[in-house]
Amino acid sequence: MTNRKRVFWATTALFSGLLVAGAASAQSSGTVATEGATELDTVVVTGSRSPAITGIIAQTVPKTRSSIGQEFISTQTSGQTILQSLNLVPGLNFVNSDPYGNSGGNIRLRGFDGNRVSLTFDGMPLNDTGNYAVFTNQQLDAELIQRASVNQGTTDVDSPTASATGGTISFLSARPLEEAGVQVNSSIGENNYGRVFLRADTGAFGPWGTTAFVAASYTNYDKFRGPGELEKTQFNGKVYQDLGGDGNFASLAGHYNRNRNAAFFNNYTLANFASGVEPLENDITCFRPLGANGTVQDENTQSSRILSDGSTIAGNCTSAIANRINPSDTGNIRGQFSYALTDNLRFTFDPSYQYVLATGGTTTSLLNERDDRLDQNRLNNNSTTGLNLLTGTTGVGALTPIQQCALPLFNTTGRDLNGDGDTCDNVHVYAPSVTNTNRYGINSSLIWDLNDSNRIRAAYSLDYGRHRQTGEGSFMSRNADPVDPFSTFNAPDSAVTGRDGSTYRFRDRFSIAELQQFAVEYIGDFFNDSLTVNVGVRAPRFTRDLNQYCFSQNGTSTVRCTTETPASTLASGNVTFASTGTTQFIPPYQAQLKFDDILPNVGAVYRFGEGHSVYASYAEGLSVPRTDNLYQPVRNVTDNSIDFSTVQPESTKAYDLGYRFRDSRLIVQAAVWYIEFENRIVSSRDGAQFLDDGVTPNPTFDLIIDRNVGSVKQQGFDGQVGYIFSDSFALNLSASYNESELQENLFLGNFSCTNLTQVALSTPACPTSPAAPLLIPTFLSTKGKTLVETPDWTFSARGDWDVTEDLSVGLQAKYVGERFATDVNDEVSDSYVVADLDVRYDLTDRFGIRGAYVQVNINNLFDEEYLGNISTGNNGLASSISPDARVPLRGGAARTYSIGSPRTAQITLGMKF
């Protein structure tokens, strides 16, 4: 009998509830110690390939939580992100951007996007300090994850987060093994997929029985659509020291991840998808025109593009795969310490440091060599305020660009970017949005056992991030290859500079995000331990320091980064530039914004009968405005101060009521929930679409700003069932229902109606008096609509079958219901079902190698064609925004969608020595 079978029989005997201290996938070692030792977290313990495991193991905490363990994770595709492995969990919908996970993906948890869900790694927060984004392709290698869990809709009382209003996702790294050994996994698959994973454990060594491991992996494969490849390198290590039993330990771990990804795919519209017409992907390559002195090179129209279908056309290099990349270097150091100071007092301390260097997607920027940002003292021959070099007078020059370029005097201004000796050209430069973060964190707890039935915990968390965001231009090769993927960050000599030595840039700011949080929690057992009550409160205090080094267009996120001298300074303090006309800009500024709240987190679980329990919880959540939301200052016309209050913090109140049952063969969890969401933030266009004549486009209409759209109410159901039919077969099912409703219409701004007659429209004219403009409020009809990208129903199922002692088969499938793509629900994507197959054959007995196996994984087994991630928006069709007939319809834009990856096969060979 194999070890797998022996473990399975042991598992079955313990299935009804074996307490394992620390088995909870909690936020910190403090929560692990609190929940584990109080039997709040009785878990199912299963073997390495037991059919009892399917990744949907419920825990008896007083809130809705679902977990998976390494035994299930190991059945999934090698190298896959942990978020995809969690996709069978009820309430969670994850859409992968490629079959292997290195292109990232999109999270929806009870209707909340990934920016509103807290992701933690050994208790350390991973959401970006600026915009709270979750980067699913940068997570820990799956072989090293001991357990992962999802809190649907709620946080733990010590969750160190200023963003989580929709729940938490957390995972714990594995401990080093007591026995020395080496683990090797090697995988190959379609799309030229190749991956190697190595782990070496020291076993217990030294006078104190210290254990440690080091691990490394390398992955490389082609995109499943279009040119380009994805490459990932990861290193991990951990040292663990037992400090004398009773849960006392100290550990130190390190993680480094390097991604070099051509990660961008061109998206489909619904019309593309319905017709079967595939859009072209990124260009295979692109050649910029050679410079020639005295002539005009316009790289926007004269570059030679090699399209993804092999054809050649003239155009620009913005779609060249060489610069359509998304590189990242991330790393962290994590410490964990838990020690019993006395028999009833325990102290935990988890420090961490994180480093991030990443781009938010790269592209090129077309720059005219006579741009004022390159020469602040340039005499602009094309400016109505500049000097005409031919006549010596001000005004627009009458000569063509080629005639202008032939003048020697003309080329004494501007900056020669392509080295041809003139300044007549439009030149592409590499211009990525680069973010560099240094982040320091502390999670600590003091846990006091008053007696066997009552416990109090006090917790303190610090999350301090220094967030540098730049958008500096650098030179590229003739075929659009950047000198360095992070532009000037690692290659300052590649910078595009002006005549005064300043670097051309389109973004330049520095922020500090500091969260300090205190939490107190009481846990009590009553009625012979049949009732457990948890009462907690956390008090986050969040500070954002803003440092804007560019000029900000009033009320928008548009900036002008320049060393130009303003043409004028207004009484309000705003400035204008000769090259931008009357547009007003707020000069560079500093500001500090503070947010705080008191957030209760309470719950109770009542156990009765043999394996039955019911639970209820209530938790409040807070998400303070993201950095991008705050860098949109408005000049206050009353006192000329700078106002940052247009966007307020989001908040939630979440209620859960659930039932659980478990015995030696059956696990059941069912929950109904209700969430009130206040001050939801959305992005929308600013102002009316047309000027007063109803025909002329409003030049400010395409400016994107963020607004609070008010409240959203959500309610739903999450359920899951796991049943062992026999010693060789088990089935797990889950279902989720989500009903959401926006409570208010989205305010767009005021339509300005002056005394100009709308001759192009058969509508009443604007009034001739008074002379002052009449402002008509405009709204988008979002009241009563459903949240975007949130399916109403999701179903998942997984069956595990041990065909023989050595052969096991797993089949899983997920149904995702229709999802709206717009806030007004005028565009919707179809439902779909994706099934995956895994087959493993144990080679231990056949070859005598410990832990040897071969595994085949097939993703999207039935080759389902479906739409994945959605580029959501306000409205897809033209929409009425006012009952006043003088206000024209608001133009819509068809939304775009990623295409789901086709059937993809992979084979993995693993062994241990």
Model confidence pLDDT, tens digit, residues 852-891: 999 999 999 999 999 999 988 889 999 998 888 778 888 8
Q: What is the pLDDT of residue 83?
A: 95
Q: What is the pLDDT of residue 196?
A: 98
What token pair was written down for 778? 């405009």
Give residue for tokens 């979440």.
Answer: 654
Give the C-alpha separation, 94 to 148, whole Å: 15
What token pair was written down for 697? 């486009």
Q: What is the pLDDT of residue 771?
A: 53
Residue 445 banded pLDDT, cuts 50, 70, 90: very high
For the residues 330-357, what does the mean pLDDT come to?
Answer: 96
Q: What angle do CA 249, 250, 254 make, to 5 degrees?
A: 140
Q: Which DSSP symbol is given to 73?
A: H
Three-class SS of residue 191? Answer: coil
What token pair was written down for 130? 């600026």
Give the C-alpha separation, 834 to 297, whole Å: 50
Residues in Cβ contact with 171 at an 8 Å cutoff, skipping those fewer than 6 apart: 25, 82, 120, 121, 122, 139, 140, 145, 146, 147, 148, 149
Strands (E) across 609-680 are located at 612-623, 634-635, 642-643, 650-662, 666-678
What token pair was written down for 224? 């499943």
Give residue for tokens 């959540």.
Answer: 621
Residue 96 banded pLDDT, cuts 50, 70, 90: very high
Residue of 766 and 216 predicted with greater confidence: 216
Q: What angle do CA 775, 780, 786 make, to 5 degrees?
A: 160
Please tell me the least confidently modeled range out of 11-20, 174-183, 683-692: 11-20
For residue 781, pLDDT over 80 is answered with yes
The CATH class of the 3-173 domain is mainly beta
Residue 754 banded pLDDT, cuts 50, 70, 90: low
Three-class SS of residue 636? Answer: coil
For the residues 172-181, what does the mean pLDDT come to?
Answer: 96
Q: What is the pLDDT of residue 56?
A: 39
For residue 723, pLDDT over 70 is answered with yes
Please tell me the least confidently modeled range out of 187-201, 469-483, 706-720: 706-720
Q: What tens digit of pLDDT does each residue of 510-521 get?
A: 999 999 999 999
Q: What is the pLDDT of residue 887?
A: 82
**What residue spans define the domains of the chain?**
3-173, 551-587
Please tell me the least confidently modeled range out of 32-41, 436-445, 788-797: 32-41
Give residue for tokens 């005021």.
Answer: 750
Q: What is the pLDDT of residue 770?
A: 52
Q: What is the pLDDT of residue 627?
A: 87
Radius of gyration for the chain, computed over Cα atoms and rounded to the nearest angstrom: 30
Residues in Cβ contact with 262 at an 8 Å cutoff, skipping those fewer than 6 apart: 223, 227, 228, 229, 230, 282, 321, 324, 325, 326
What are the angstrom distances between the C-alpha of 471 and each of 361, 488, 558, 649?
11, 9, 13, 27
Please tell me the least confidently modeled range out of 186-190, 330-334, 658-662: 658-662
Q: Is residue 107 a contact partner of residue 118, using CB atoms and an 8 Å limit?
A: no
Would you call the peptide bond into 770 cis, given omega within 30 degrees of 0 as the criterion? yes
Residue 847 banded pLDDT, cuts 50, 70, 90: confident
For the residues 109-114, what does the mean pLDDT come to?
Answer: 89
Q: What is the pLDDT of residue 762?
A: 43
Q: What is the percentage of the chain residues whose pLDDT exceeds 70?
A: 84
Q: What is the pLDDT of residue 707?
A: 57
Pairing of strands 181-189, 167-173: unpaired
Give the C-alpha separation, 157 to 150, whole Å: 15
Please tell me the least confidently modeled range out of 184-188, 567-571, 623-627: 623-627
Q: What tens digit of pLDDT does each residue of 481-495 get?
A: 999 999 999 999 999
Q: What is the pLDDT of residue 726?
A: 92
Give me the chain's average pLDDT, please: 84
Residue of 809 and 384 predicted with greater confidence: 809
For residue 148, pLDDT over 60 is answered with yes
Residue of 127 and 684 predicted with greater confidence: 127
For the residues 596-625, what does the mean pLDDT come to?
Answer: 93
For residue 20, pLDDT over 60 is answered with no
Please state, as a whole number, how many other Cβ atoms lie within 10 Å of the Cβ of residue 719: 18
For the residues 620-635, what does the mean pLDDT come to?
Answer: 88
Residue 719 banded pLDDT, cuts 50, 70, 90: very high
What are the angstrom distances between the C-alpha of 474 and each of 323, 427, 505, 857, 890?
12, 11, 9, 43, 38
Please tell me the least confidently modeled range out of 255-269, 584-598, 829-843: 255-269
Q: Is residue 739 a contact partner of residue 765, using CB atoms and an 8 Å limit?
A: no
Residue of 851 and 153 predicted with greater confidence: 851
Residue 33 banded pLDDT, cuts 50, 70, 90: low
For residue 53, pLDDT over 80 is answered with no
Residue of 41 and 437 predicted with greater confidence: 437
Exposure string of 179-191, with b = 16+ CB inside 10 Å and e = fewer, is eeeebbbebebbb
Q: Which of 573, 429, 410, 414 is nearest to 500 (CA)?
A: 414
Residue 304 banded pLDDT, cuts 50, 70, 90: very high
What are the angstrom distances between the C-alpha of 215 and each of 174, 181, 849?
11, 12, 20
For the residues 440-456, what does the mean pLDDT come to?
Answer: 95
Q: Is residue 262 a contact partner of residue 324, using CB atoms and an 8 Å limit?
A: yes
Q: What is the pLDDT of residue 851?
A: 85
Please tell me the least confidently modeled range out of 197-201, 313-317, 627-631: 627-631
Q: What is the pLDDT of residue 47?
A: 29
Q: Which of 729, 731, 733, 730 is nearest to 720 (CA)?
A: 733
Strands (E) across 527-630 are located at 531-548, 551-553, 559-560, 568-569, 575-576, 585-586, 589-596, 599-608, 612-623
For residue 393, pLDDT over 90 is answered with no
Q: Is residue 779 a contact partner of residue 883, using CB atoms and an 8 Å limit?
A: no
Q: What is the pLDDT of residue 314?
A: 95
For the residues 9-29, what does the mean pLDDT come to?
Answer: 34
Residue 496 banded pLDDT, cuts 50, 70, 90: very high
Q: What is the pLDDT of residue 5?
A: 34
Q: What is the pLDDT of residue 44?
A: 31
Q: Which DSSP symbol is given to 246?
A: T
Q: What is the pLDDT of residue 689?
A: 38
Secondary structure element (H or E) that encloses residue 870, with its range? strand 867-871
Q: Is residue 38 a contact partner of residue 523, using CB atoms and an 8 Å limit?
A: yes
Q: What is the pLDDT of residue 690?
A: 36
Q: What angle do CA 355, 356, 361 make, to 5 degrees?
A: 175
Residue 647 banded pLDDT, cuts 50, 70, 90: confident
Give the C-alpha separation, 80 to 245, whole Å: 35
What predicted TM-score, i.e. pTM, was given to this entire model? 0.88
Give the C-alpha separation, 149 to 678, whole Å: 26
Q: What tens digit of pLDDT does each residue of 230-251 get?
A: 999 999 999 999 998 788 999 9
Q: What angle do CA 510, 512, 513 make, to 5 degrees?
A: 135
Residue 706 banded pLDDT, cuts 50, 70, 90: low
Residues in Cβ contact with 834 at an 8 Å cutoff, skipping those fewer than 6 apart: 813, 814, 816, 859, 860, 864, 866, 900
What are the angstrom distances between the C-alpha of 502 and each of 10, 420, 429, 547?
69, 21, 15, 18
Please tell me the least confidently modeled range out of 158-162, 226-230, 413-417: 158-162
